Homo-oligomer: A and B are copies of this chain.
Amino acid sequence: MTAPLFERLALVGVGLIGSSIARAARATGAVRSIVASARSQATRARVAELGIVDEVAESNAAAVDGADLVIVCIPVGQCGPVAAEIAPRLAPGAVVSDVGSVKGSVVRDMAPHLPPHVHFVPAHPVAGTEHSGPDAGFAELFINRWCILTPPEGTDPAAVERLAAFWRKLGANVETMSVAHHDIVLAVTSHLPHLIAYTVVGMADDVEKLVTRSEVMKFSAGGFRDFTRIAASDPTMWRDVCLANRDALAGELHEYRALLARLQTALEAGDGDALEAVFRAAAECRRAHAPRLDAE
């Protein structure tokens, strides 16, 4: 095993992502020691019980004390207050990062609180499952997944490279892009799909007068089931993500609704060519990338 990339990793928040980072960082020897904090006493106790970190701190501020890598792994809506909380205790030279699915709001909320003597490198590991909490994490979560770094202009390239090396050590592929580009890419690939899946599954509940919920589930192999996995994701987290990326997401949703309106017109007019054109483009888009998607 090579030398650790960081001496002391502080994880602020230990849900699915935080606990997976803890497990992966330990399994790969990416850091020498791991300290974690969590908002609730129950989570802190559970993390100690799981034994996936070296030390559980009583507060977020205490956790970051002396850490050369701090990763905030909490819902995006809480990043501002938590940055204010940890700022006074951050060690000079520390790399401070996060795992939020939206980068614009996180940078806007966290950056003003952080002292100039730390390196702020926002990150987003594009990985997850529909499960939540410290028990749901696993060391392999990031293997062959992408981790997107969105360092603000002027960030020390050496700090960016150290964080990139950390994520590569955990098995991820690393890509760097601007905050704004990240948020539009994720609106398309993640936030809109979640919003749509929640809506489809929620609507199936609405139609209960005509079709029972039990029928919906029984016959879900016809397609519906593909939506239910992502619709099982944490509703509070996704509410926050949608609000945090409101502008980009609202724009994509608007586009999507316009496309659906055109499809409704085609459907009602019996315009098979128009339907097939949309279906065919989508099927080909998938086919072009099937080897990669199927391999994952």
Contacts and interface: CB of A to CB of B under 8 A. Distances in A.
B254 A264 contact: yes
A286 B189 contact: no
- Decide if the interface of chain A is mainly helix, strand, loop or mixed: helix
B279 A238 contact: yes
Q: Number of copies of this chain in the oligomer?
A: 2
Contact of A193 (B222, B257, B285): B222
Identify the interface centre among A220, A272, A282: most chain B CB within 10 Å of its CB. A282
Chain A: number of interface residues, binned into ranges: 35 or more
Interface string A254-291: 11110111011001101010011011111101111110
A286 B231 contact: yes
A78 to B, nearest CB: 13
Contacts of A260: 196, 199, 253, 256-257, 260
Question: Top 3 A-B pairs ranked by shortest CB distance?
Answer: A190-B222, A235-B279, A193-B223
23 contacts: A184-B211, A185-B216, A189-B204, A189-B216, A189-B219, A189-B220, A193-B200, A196-B196, A198-B279, A200-B282, A201-B282, A202-B285, A203-B259, A206-B259, A213-B285, A221-B296, A223-B230, A235-B276, A239-B279, A243-B267, A250-B267, A253-B264, A254-B264
Contacts of A254: 264
Contact of A197 (B148, B223, B235): B223
Nearest to A225: B293
A156 interface: no
A11 B17 CA distance: 51
Contacts of A138: none
Contact of A259 (B191, B192, B202): B202
Contact of A221 (B126, B195, B242, B255): B126
A38 to B, nearest CB: 22
A189 B263 contact: no
Interface string A225-241: 11111111111101110
A226 B224 contact: no
A263 B253 contact: yes
A207 interface: yes
Interface in A168-221: 175, 184-186, 188-207, 210-211, 213, 215-221
A246 interface: yes
A210 B296 CA distance: 25
A189 B201 CA distance: 9
A221 B129 CA distance: 9
B285 A231 contact: yes
Given A126-B221, A196-B196, A213-B288, 18 more contacts: A128-B221, A185-B215, A188-B204, A193-B224, A193-B226, A196-B200, A199-B263, A199-B278, A203-B255, A205-B285, A220-B293, A225-B296, A229-B286, A232-B287, A239-B276, A239-B279, A246-B270, A253-B267
